[in-house]
Structures are given as structure tokens and as C-alpha cells.
Amino acid sequence: MYRDLNSQTERELREYFQEEDYMVVAVPKAELVRVYALRARKTVEVARRIHGLKGKDAQALGYALMSALLLTSLVKHATSQKVLFKMQNPCGVVAAEADGKGRVRGFVEGSPQDCWEEGTINVVKELRLGTPYTSIVPVVGRNFQEALLFYFEQSEQTRSYLQLHVSFGEESSVKEAGAYLVQVLSGVSSESVERLEENARGLSIEDKRPEEVAVSLLKGMEPRLIGLKEVEYYCPCSEEIARSSLLLLEQEELEDLLNEGPAEVVCKFCKRVYRFSREQLML
């Protein structure tokens, strides 16, 4: 896919996606730069409702979901290859899993933002042959955004710029959720780097659509649209997966569960509850 990211393209994107969540991938005409700009308001709101969150915990989950979506830049586009993002510390954990098709899910345990500096960021990527690659870095920075930026600099060895934004409206509902990631590959001229930094400096993504953010970041560099991705909160858990997780338990442990009634499995990502009798587990 390739189109000039001009006013006509922006208008068509507004008409097509309207209020839906999506990500655009854009590049300048003559430099090795990638821009990923994302809107995820509905996605983060679905997650907030599923997990019954508000305030800083809802914000942490929103940041994690968008971080995982931005990290899918590291896997093949439009595939089911996944990226797992997890930030944990003594106060809790927040995790999110996204794939190359824009599907994402996540959860929060505890209040991980209460002891920020003591944590680690763990990123697991599925490669083409299905072999996972794991990278762990300490949490460095004053906030989620700075910590993720440190990850890219240390683990991916890529000059990066990014911004995450989640705000709330009435009754703790998500008013806005958006993000962008700029990756500067080797060989980019110093003039282009300076222009990118100038464009990013002071840029607010509040009230901006993904294509508007991409155009602002690539101002003066002839932006082109090379990819689109619809985004949604999606959990593929099923009765079969839940049953298989129970059958991985030791026989004695499973018997103890069944002696108290039906064995229960609760999905961390979507809160769906699965219950199994002894007969259903064929024991």
C-alpha cells in the first residue's frame, strides 16, 4: 500500500473510520523513518469496563494496551504474530498482548504506578518461525512514556520518539486515548533528524486523528501512507483453552478443586468465567 498523505487521503480516512479505532503507518518520501500513529479510545474504554478500573489504574492499562500496539511494529504486519508487553514492580503488574492485526488485550494486578522506579519492562516478540524473543530492561524515567522510550533505545537500539495520551470524561469513562511512535533507522540525514525533533517538540496529540499526527510529525518531508490497521480489544479465550489449563494441573490438585465443586477458570484478560464438572473433564 502506498498513497501520498495529503488532504484528500486525510478526508477519506476520516470518512472511512469515523469514530473507530485504528493505526496509520507513514513514511517520508526520501528517508528511512517510520511513523506509527494510533487512536484507541474505544479499545481502552472496553478494557476499563471489563476490569472495572478508574483513575491511575485505568490509565496504566490504557498505556500498556497502546504500548503493545506500538510494539507490533516489531512483528510482521497484518499477521497473528504477537507481542507481549509487561511492566511489573513490587506494587503490581500491568500487561498487554497485541498482534499484527491490531487485536489487543490486557490486565492490571495491584497498583503498579505506586512504586514506579523499582520495576522492569518485559517484551516478548513472536518471530516468523514462531520462536519467541524476550527482552527485559529496568524501568527508567519519570512515567510510562519515558520508560517505554528507554526500552526502545536500550533493547531495539533505535532512535525513537513517542507520546502516549489517555484522558477521562464523565463517570471515569475514557475521553481520549492515542499514541505515536517514530523510529529513525540508520542512514537518516542529520537535517531530517533535526526536522523530526522540531516537529515532535511541543506536539500535542490531544483532539488529533492518527493521520493528522503523522502529517504533523512528517511536516516538510512529503509524508506517505504505507499501512492501515483497525484496532480492537479482543480476547481469544475459549472453553477448550480453559479446560486444557485445568488438565495441566497435578492430579491431586485437580481432585482437591473438584471436591469443593465445579473447577473454575477465570480469564485474566476478559474476566470470562468457565466452570467444569468432573464429568466435563472426563475424570
H helical segments located in the chain: 7-17, 41-51, 55-71, 144-151, 190-200, 210-217, 239-247, 251-259
Quick check: 268 pLDDT over 90?
Answer: yes
Domain boundaries, the chain: 3-233, 239-276
May I ask the CATH architecture of the domain 3-233?
3-Layer(bab) Sandwich (3.55)
pLDDT of residue 45: 98
Q: What is the mean pLDDT of residues 37-45?
A: 98
Taking only the tens place, the pLDDT of each residue in 151-184 is: 988 888 888 999 999 999 988 999 999 999 999 9
**What is the total residue count of the chain?**
283
pLDDT of residue 1: 65
pLDDT of residue 10: 94
How does the average pLDDT of the chain come out, rounded? 92
pLDDT of residue 128: 67
Q: What is the mean pLDDT of residues 98-117?
A: 92
Q: What is the mean pLDDT of residues 181-210?
A: 93
pLDDT of residue 137: 94
